[in-house]
Amino acid sequence: MPRVKFQTLTEQMFYILLCLRNECCGMDILDRVPAMTNGRVNVGSGTLYNLLEQFLEMGVICETKVEGRKRSYILTQKGREMLDREYERIRAQVDDYKKAFEEEDK
């Protein structure tokens, strides 16, 4: 059975969408992701612009402004729901981790 596209998000996908909770352009995202993760996560420009196109096609983000080659985007309701699902998935993983070590420590 083929995997559903974006059923789970990579770190880069998650942080791109997180940046887009407020309107911004690609260059903003390239700066913001490393800043918000203390350099732990970086997104290459090729990866970023490829993902932005895919997110646009899926209706996860929408384009808000075009100024020459500079394009700005923002998260849609569908994108917010996708981000919320990923957050809950990550939280469940953290809970599983904690439970596993609590049982081990008993």
**pLDDT tens track for 37-73:** 999 999 999 999 999 999 999 999 999 999 999 999 9
Classify domain 11-105 by CATH architecture: Orthogonal Bundle (1.10)
Using CA atoms, how far apart are residues 13 and 86, in angstroms rounded to an integer?
A: 10
> pTM of the full predicted structure?
0.88
- Contact indicator for 29, 75 with CB cutoff of 8 Å: no
Q: What percent of the chain has pLDDT over 70?
A: 92
The β-bridge partners of 71 are 66
Amino acid identity at 43: V
Q: What would the mean pLDDT of 89-103 be, rounded to a whole number?
A: 91
Sequence ranges of the domains in the chain = 11-105
**Edge-to-edge strand list for the sheet holding 24-25:** 24-25, 70-75, 61-67
Q: What tokens appear for 62 in the block?
A: 């929408």
> Collapsing DSSP states into helix, strand and coil, what is residue 66?
strand
- Average pLDDT of the residues in 95-105: 84
